Amino acid sequence: MKRKLSYKGLQEGIRTLKTPKIDVWRNQYADKDYVITLENPEFTCVCPKTGLPDFANINIQYKPDKWCIELKSFKLYMLFYRNIGIFHEHVINKILDDFVAACKPRCVNIKGEFNIRGGVKTTVITEYKRS
C-alpha cells in the first residue's frame, strides 16, 4: 500500500524563523564600488521531509555600502542551519533576507549548490539590488 506524502505545514513559519544575529563593521571604503565574495563549501541543513542531512556549497557575492559582514558571526549564523529542517529554496531566500537586513548592501547574489540527492542536483540562486 502506497502512503501519500505531504509537505503541508512543513515550512509555514520559515520567514519568521529566529536566526542568530549577523554582526557588521563600518566600511571605510563605502565610496568605492567593489565586490566581496563569501563561500561556505561545507553548509549543512536537514531535509524537512526525510530528516536526512543536506550538504551544499553556498556562494555569496555582494557590493557593500556602509557595512560589511563580520565573518565570525556569519560563520555562526551558517552553522545554525545544521539542525534546521528547511527546503533548499527556502534556506537560500532566508539567508538573503537576513543578509540584506544585516548589512544593507548595494546588491547581493546568493547561490546554493546542493549535493545530488536521489539523482537530482539542486541549485538555487537569488539576488537583491537596492533601487
Q: Hey, which residues are catalytic here?
A: 47, 54
The rounded Cα 75 to chain-centroid distance in angstroms is 11
Closest CA relative to residue 87, chosen from 42, 56, 119, 128: 56
Q: How far apart are CA 114 and CA 12, in angstroms?
A: 22
Question: d(Cα 113, Cα 100) in Å, to the nearest integer?
Answer: 20
